[in-house]
Amino acid sequence: MPHQASRPRPLTGRVPASAIRCTTLPRLDPALLDRARALPDLTANISDAMDELGLRGVVPASCMACQLPGARIAGQAVTVRNTERTEGVAASVASGRGLMGEHEAYNQADPGDVVVIEGLDGVSNLGGQSAMVASRSECAGAIIDGGFRDPEVSRQLGFPIWSRGPTPITGKWRLQTVEINGSVRIAGVAVHAGDLVAADEAGIDFIPHAHALAVITVAERIASGDTRQQADIRNGISPAELASTKYK
């Protein structure tokens, strides 16, 4: 369901302009995003809907865990692709040039967007100051296929991060941002800028932009059936009757 595209804005200079693949993301209807956020069992309802529609795009928390207990978000992806620097740490330090550019993603984001980073494992792709800028830009949270650091800062901000885990090792001398708002791979799942992202303590769902309406519509039906089933269980339905009742 396309909606009004976000407006271009002045660039930060953190990455070359040629590395920014899109500055006007196709926008989903805000009402659809609200419907996603209202799902009672967010990622599970959506995961079941994606199964029903033959779509792949779910990453369990056992692979990339939520670092903020109780967090749940749904928003559109702004993407970052990082790669390893080739010159080595000593040469990078000597150059004095940091090549991390995730701040440009925050600059491109609208409030409620989710930062999705294809990064390096064991190395920080997002640190405390970066989390502060993302939070100030009203990003809903970050998904990082790789490491991050300064976890106490993001916790204090209430800024949720899903990641391979925290690390003290800076990415400043070890990685470079090569693309903003292009295509990334997160735990083997292809994600494009503007896709719908839902995440909670169970894991992460990546829903292609073109399928967002269909997925949320099916997820709502599944959630309604789950709600009726739970009510029947609380009201003492017999196991035999429970087994024979169709809820979805």
Look at 230 and 58; give whichever has higher pLDDT: 58
DSSP reduced 3-state for 223? helix
pLDDT digit string (tens) for 11-23?
998 899 999 999 8
Cα–Cα distances (Å) from 232 to 39, 150, 235, in that order, read: 19, 45, 5
Cα–Cα distances (Å) from 239 to 28, 105, 139, 197, in that order, read: 42, 51, 45, 36
Look at 174 and 24; give whichever has higher pLDDT: 174
Mean pLDDT of the 57-84 span? 97
Asked if 13 contacts 182 with a C-beta cutoff of 8 angstroms, the reply is no
Task: Show the CA angle centred on residue 101, arms to residues 5 and 161, nearest 5°.
Answer: 80
Tokens 């690390």 -> residue: 167
* Nearest Cα to Cα of residue 42 among 5, 86, 84, 73: 73
241 band by pLDDT with thresholds 50, 70 and 90:
confident
Residue 246 is classified by DSSP as -
Asked whether residue 41 carries a pLDDT value surpassing 90, the answer given is yes
Look at 242 and 184; give whichever has higher pLDDT: 184
200 band by pLDDT with thresholds 50, 70 and 90:
very high
Mean pLDDT of the 121-149 span? 97
Give the pLDDT confidence score for residue 2 in this predicted structure.
46
Asked if 192 contacts 180 with a C-beta cutoff of 8 angstroms, the reply is no
Helix or strand run (H / E) with residue 93: helix 89-95
Mean pLDDT of the 102-112 span? 96
- Torsion angle defined by CA atoms of residues 117, 128, 85 and 98, in that order, rounded to the nearest 10 degrees: 120
